[in-house]
């Protein structure tokens, strides 16, 4: 064991992803990265900074602004025996590649009778909170989670950012990784040992007996803050980090709900026809008689995300709105 294992270095979420990329590129010659500005620019969010120098242009490939072509090429390269990691600058631009993701990546294995698995990893930034206005602030992970045939993950911690990317590369299916833009600068520690991360199970981030806050991505930290603010009122909130949005870890969700008898789902997506609606429906189907209160939801206001900070803040779930939803549930 090296000295650094005993003394973890302070690092960031973006560094954690870079470490996973570097490790995969070193370990497996089939792995390569492609996307807009991943090479010379170092990545729009600086995730791939330095990788071009280390691995060269064949494996760190800058692409034209052709989302459909380079995502489709990633799918084709995966079918052709490689392990591509495709970076789409943000999920907002992923809509230009929707045909490839939904009509190809999600269907080819089943439609070909199992002949054509698609082991591609597609990473993209998601979420709001940086005053980027409506066209750069979408949260589409819930949309994608509607589609059978692809896997959707949303790592919220440094260890998950690193470990889930590694797990995604070991998976024979198309995996879409949603990295919330508010997390890239988040600092933390990474151990030398890589804890096992999987891409199917939720993780309890805070245990509590009174209410389950079900969330993922950057909203995890708003929920943890809300839970901290509720404790002095005698409300012990449990916080479950879903991590995998498809498949959903039903067992973990139901266990949390059965234990606390109350649930609030916190999601930066809109609520209509949403992932939060799906989770709520599953709880109703499976835990109806365990509930002491209707399932609550804190989601983004049903409007395009506006630019000015006060309006953007008002549109998004916040620690205070989460806490207030829980307080209302308890009549406090």
Partner 1 sequence: MSAAPAEIGRERVLERLKAMLRIRRFEDRCAELYGKGFIRGYLHLYNGEEAVGVGVMQALEPDDAVVSTYREHGHALARGVPMNALMAELFGKLAGCSRGRGGSMHIFDVSRRFYGGNAIVGVGIPLAVGLALAQKLRGTRSLAACFFGEGAVAEGEFNESLNLAALWKLPVLFMCENNLYAMGTALDRSESQTDIHLKAAGYRIPSFAVDGMDVLAVEDAARGAAARIRAGGGPEFLELKTYRFRAHSMFDSQLYRTKEEVESWRRRGPLIGFTQKFKERGLMSEDDYLRLEREADQEVDAAVAFAQAADWEPVDQLMRFVYAERGAA
Catalytic residue numbers, as ranges: 67, 136
Residue 78 in the binding site for partner 1 (CB under 8 A): yes
For partner 1, the binding residues in 10-39 under the rule CB under 8 A are 32
For partner 1, the binding residues in 133-152 under the rule CB under 8 A are 148-149, 151
For partner 1, the binding residues in 158-187 under the rule CB under 8 A are 172-173
Stretch that binds partner 1, among 13-21, 94-102, 274-282, 308-316 (CB under 8 A): 94-102
Instruction: Decide whether 102 or 255 has the Cβ nearer to partner 1.
Output: 102
The dihedral formed by the CA atoms of 165, 166, 169 and 172, expressed in degrees to the nearest 10 = -100
User: What is the number of other CB atoms lying within 10 angstroms of the CB of residue 159?
Assistant: 18
Residue 50 in the binding site for partner 1 (CB under 8 A): no
Residue 77 in the binding site for partner 1 (CB under 8 A): yes
User: What is the number of other CB atoms lying within 10 angstroms of the CB of residue 44?
Assistant: 18
- β-strands 203-206, 187-190: how paired? unpaired
Give me the least distance between CB of 330 and partner 1, in Å please.
41
Q: Which of 6, 114, 232, 289 binds partner 1 (CB under 8 A)?
A: 114
Preceding omega of 247 cis (within 30 degrees of 0):
yes
Instruction: Decide whether 118 or 299 has the Cβ nearer to partner 1.
Output: 118
- Phi and psi (nearest 5°) for 297? -135, 135
Q: Which of 35, 42, 43, 119 binds partner 1 (CB under 8 A)?
A: 119
Instruction: Decide whether 64 or 234 has the Cβ nearer to partner 1.
Output: 64
Give me the least distance between CB of 62 and partner 1, in Å please.
10
Instruction: Decide whether 59 or 262 has the Cβ nearer to partner 1.
Output: 59
Q: Which of 63, 94, 139, 215 binds partner 1 (CB under 8 A)?
A: 63
Instruction: Decide whether 68 or 131 has the Cβ nearer to partner 1.
Output: 68
Q: Which of 73, 91, 153, 177 binds partner 1 (CB under 8 A)?
A: 73
Residue 74 in the binding site for partner 1 (CB under 8 A): yes
Residue 215 in the binding site for partner 1 (CB under 8 A): no
Instruction: Decide whether 15 or 67 has the Cβ nearer to partner 1.
Output: 67
| Residues at the interface with partner 1 (CB under 8 A) | 32, 58, 61, 63-64, 66, 68-82, 84, 96, 99-100, 103-104, 108-117, 119, 148-149, 151, 172-173
């Amino acid at each position: 064991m090296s000295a650094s294992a005993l003394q973890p270095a302070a690092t960031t979420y973006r560094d954690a992803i870079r470490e996973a990329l570097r490790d995969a590129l070193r370990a497996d010659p089939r792995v390569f990265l492609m996307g807009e500005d991943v090479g010379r620019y170092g990545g729009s969010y600086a995730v791939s900074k330095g990788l071009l120098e280390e691995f060269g242009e064949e494996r760190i490939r800058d692409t034209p602004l052709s989302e459909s072509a380079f995502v489709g090429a990633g799918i084709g390269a995966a079918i052709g025996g490689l392990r591509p990691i495709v970076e789409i600058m943000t999920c907002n631009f992923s809509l230009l590649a929707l045909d490839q993701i939904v009509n190809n990546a999600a269907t080819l294995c089943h439609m070909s009778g199992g002949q054509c698995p698609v082991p591609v990893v597609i990473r993209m930034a998601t979420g709001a909170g940086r005053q980027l206005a409506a066209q750069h602030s979408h949260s589409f992970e819930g949309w994608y989670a509607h589609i059978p045939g692809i896997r959707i993950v949303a790592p919220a911690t440094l260890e998950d950012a690193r470990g889930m990317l590694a797990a995604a590369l070991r998976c024979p299916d198309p995996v879409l990784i949603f990295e919330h833009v508010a997390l890239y600068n988040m600092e933390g520690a990474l151990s030398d040992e890589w804890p096992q991360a999987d891409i199917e199970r939720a993780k309890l981030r805070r245990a509590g007996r009174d209410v389950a806050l079900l969330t993922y991505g950057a909203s995890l930290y708003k929920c943890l803050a809300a839970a901290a603010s509720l404790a002095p009122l005698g409300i012990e909130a449990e916080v479950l980090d879903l991590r995998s949005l498809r498949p959903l870890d039903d067992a973990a969700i139901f266990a949390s709900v059965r234990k606390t008898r109350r649930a609030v789902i916190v999601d930066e997506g809109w609520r209509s026809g949403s992932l939060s609606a799906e989770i709520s429906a599953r709880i109703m189907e499976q835990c109806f008689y365990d509930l002491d209160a209707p399932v609550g939801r804190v989601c983004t206001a049903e409007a395009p995300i506006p630019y000015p900070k006060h309006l953007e803040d008002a549109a998004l779930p916040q620690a205070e709105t989460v806490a207030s939803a829980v307080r209302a549930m308890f009549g406090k």
